[in-house]
Amino acid sequence: MAEKSKPQPLRLDIQADFLPRNGQSRTRKYDEGVQKVKISLYAKSTSSMSSSAGQQASVAHGLKILLVEPDAMLGETYQQAFEHSGHTVFWGKTAQEGLHILDENQVDLIISELQLAMHNGLEFLYELRTYNDWRDIPVIVLTHVPPISLQMTKALSSNLGVVAYHYKPLTKLQDLIHSVEQISVIV
């Protein structure tokens, strides 16, 4: 019997400079107060999370994902994780960028934050539903906004095409990748 190889973890390293809250220049040197932080995130690879050959085959083709995430560090983390899982990611930092990406590309899935500049995420989702070309694209909400009640989640699901709601402080990267994989089996 052939020995199964142990799945390799997905490793994402991100380096960021955090400045004091007083808004001073980004050009400050390390010894003048800039804190350098390195964050490493780990998740199981896609192949180790899929339980059947059928699921692996459907993930292999990959989804085209629109990611609307204003936070640069999180956006890059999610983009790398999804691309590592075999998906194509179009990343916009605002609702306007997301709409422009949708105008230029056909996507299979939208992952969006609700707290967006100028255009909040709910307005963005409502706007998506007004266009026939985008009306049926499934949406995963990934946000810092806690679900106020089960009713809010039900309303989002029925009216805005939200298939999953992830509260960022409680969501592991692996859980988000799993939600995307479940959709990739359907699409």
- What fold is seen in the domain 46-186? Rossmann fold (3.40.50)
* pLDDT given for residue 90 in this prediction: 98
Helix %, strand %, coil % of the chain (to 5): 40, 25, 35
C-alpha span between 39 and 162 (Å, rounded): 30
C-alpha span between 49 and 19 (Å, rounded): 38
Q: Are strands 35-44 and 9-18 parallel, antiparallel or unpaired?
A: antiparallel
Run of H or E including 11: strand 9-18
Compute the mean pLDDT over every residue in the chain, rounded to the nearest whole number. 74
* pLDDT given for residue 156 in this prediction: 67
pLDDT above 90 covers what percent of the chain? 38
Task: Give the pLDDT confidence of 149-173 residue by residue, as tens digits.
Answer: 556 666 667 778 888 889 998 899 9
Run of H or E including 173: helix 173-186
List the domain boundaries for the chain.
9-41, 46-186
* pLDDT given for residue 118 in this prediction: 84
C-alpha span between 43 and 111 (Å, rounded): 19
**For the purposes of burial, counting CB atoms within 10 Å of the CB of 4, is it exposed (0-12), middle (13-18) or buried (19 or more)?**
exposed
* pLDDT given for residue 65 in this prediction: 97
Q: Find, among 101, 50, 56, the residue nearest to 79 by Cα.
A: 101
Task: Give the pLDDT confidence of 49-106 residue by residue, as tens digits.
Answer: 333 334 333 344 689 999 999 999 999 999 999 999 999 999 999 999 999 999 999 9
pTM for the whole structure: 0.66
* pLDDT given for residue 88 in this prediction: 96
* Residue 124 tokens, joined: 């963005």
